[in-house]
Structure 1
Amino acid sequence: MPSTFLKLLSPLVRVMPEVKAPDREVSFKEKAIWTLVVLVIFLIMSHMPLYGVDPSSGTDYLWAMRVILASTRGTLMELGIGPIVTAGLVMQLLSGSKIINVDFGDPEDRALFTGGQKVLALFMTAFQAMAYIMGNAYGALEPNEQVIVFIQLFSSGVIVILMDELIQKGWGLGSGVSLFIMTNVAGQVVFNMFNVTEFATVIGEAPEGYPQDYTNLPKGIIAAVITNIMRIAGIGGDAFPAVDISWLVFRNGFNPSLFTLGVTFLIFGVVIWLESVRVEIPLQYAKYRGMKARYPIKLMYTSNIPVILAQALYANVLFFGQII
């Protein structure tokens, strides 16, 4: 029987927008197409700036957590997956501690729990959007500007929730949350490799013996290496001389370098290896005359969930602090 808490959420669950679960077997090709559609929408939202705000003003409270939360500063994906993860965390804690009783074997209970999680995600989207505005994340905004920014953040949050539900209901591949994080991380890696934005050294930090105050090399490390090789070979008619390879190994500030690129691929390799490691637990069946078997469990059984939950929890504490 559904708990009182879930019964109270029931009227809201009924009026919530919902993605219907497929009533047939969805082919791999169709799942791949829907997954691609979701990724394209996510990428568009990640690059579409918020109307009426200046991202360079105010304070970026989430700068250290944007990779984990699949968030992009000053865009429709400002809040990222934070509301979804927070709602899931709260509901799981409530059910795990038996504060609310949920029978996951009962379809009605399971549907109410999932719907309640979506309702809570909407509340968290509104809460975080208000905290961002009240915390002057974009500087001091006029009342009409605050309303416009809130509508944009809330609407984009609803779209993210529905896209996550689309993947979770079986129309796509994998998990919506993991898919958004993967897309965000992959996009940043590719951007830091091939970004052709001109990069200039700070005056006084040019390589020793380098006559210019500015290197004028691209910010992306692969693009910078290619441009430097072209300068050495005299291709392209670049007026700037080539730099020593040591300058590309360690670049100043947070700019990508050959060292950081190597560390990135090293971490990729370690994570892939850890994901493939299995721990075999010996089992013995008394019912079958002591027959022995081994049950394999992934070493990284919890995957990235603890990191995501910790970052989401910290982000909400930060948001709450901005309101009070």
Structure 2
Amino acid sequence: MSKIFKYLSRAPIFGLVLFVILTTVTTISAFAEFSFQIIIGIGNVPNISINDLPDYSVLLYTDEPFAAVYIDGKYAGNTDSFGRIVVRFDAEGYHSVWILTSNKYAMYDRIVFYVEKQPKIVYIPSTRLGEVTVFSNVYPVYVYSSKGVLYGVVKKDGEKVLAPVGLQELVFSSPGFEDIRQNLNIQYGKEVPVWLKFSPLPFNLELVVSEKFSPNGDWNEDECVIKIYSSRPASGSIQIINSSGIIVYEKPLKIDAGTTQLKWDGKGYPDGVYTVRVLLSDGLTTIQKEAKTVLDTSVYTYAKEITIAFILLFTGLITYLALTGK
């Protein structure tokens, strides 16, 4: 039995299949079942007394008039001219609320609140935004906060991204170039231009391949995974060479900065040690990297047969439950 579980754990798709099964069987709603009633909406009086509201009522208070309110993903209504809406639930429980407004300079995060029998106020503050207009010597430009939150991608001169108001340190990034950091004073609804001149990164290249693989059709390590890490866009070629120095596989390459993943199935080639050779140039510098992998078809794990049997068993169980109504 322990050997069977060992084979199962090594099957590439078994984890995915098991995840889908467990998710299907165990998923339940994160929030309480509910019904709600809009008590106060558009055009109501300025003053609302919590003491006058029915049990299980929540006054949702935003800073945006006539904004759409979604509770647990369901549309609940719009705020009034003062940015308020009162919702009455039928029981205690946790719920989520999200505000959607036509004001592009206001953004809301989803928040979770708890409904009690005693009426309460839930404040939902917005994040106020301003515009950052980018002019750069290269594109695309990715605009991040200092904490790594992506605000947007600029693809040409004069395009804008929205960023929170206040003194912000923004990080501007473009693949193959050094990041630029700038402090900008973002104002609500206003446009702040920024001019960028990126400097190229040094050309660096790394190569990582599977230490061994087994192209025998058992769904376990059937391919050699080849990962190329490049600091800049580059072009060149990849070769796979057997132990006698003969090139058994060759392909031209054109990659972007970052990680490029390739696979070699090795089918039809004898067991042995193979060398993966990558030769790339960024137009100024040429780099060659090599790594070795072992092709070994001698071990058959039966992972394919076990996975297929498991899927058929599960499908049969679901069909039986559906037909019997259990």
Query: Structure 2 length normalisation: TM-score?
Result: 0.19
Query: Structure 1 length normalisation: TM-score?
Result: 0.19
Q: Indicate the structure with greater helix content.
A: 1
Based on CA coordinates, which of the two structures has the bigger radius of gyration?
A: 2
Q: Indicate the structure with greater strand content.
A: 2
Higher relative contact order, structure no. (Cα contacts within 8 Å, ≥ 6 residues apart): 1
